[in-house]
Amino acid sequence: DLCWATPSEYLATHPTQQAIQPAASTWGENGYLAVWLDQSNAWIYPHLHVAVQRMSEAARRHAEDSSPLADRVLKQLARELLLAQSSDWAFLIKTGTAKEYATKRTLDHLGRFNRLHDQFAANHVDEKFLRDCEWRDNLFPNLNWRYYI
**What number is the average pLDDT over the span 30-34?**
83
**Over the range 58-68, which residues count as b (16 or more CB within 10 Å of their CB) and which as e?**
bbeebeeeeee
Give the CATH fold of the 33-148 domain. immunoglobulin/albumin-binding domain-like (1.20.1430)
Closest Cα to residue 112, out of 90, 131, 89, 93? 131
Contact 19, 65 (CB under 8 A): no
Taking only the tens place, the pLDDT of each residue in 85-129 is 999 999 999 999 999 999 999 999 999 999 999 999 999 999 999
In this prediction the pTM is 0.84
Taking only the tens place, the pLDDT of each residue in 88-98 is 999 999 999 99
Where in the chain are the domains?
33-148
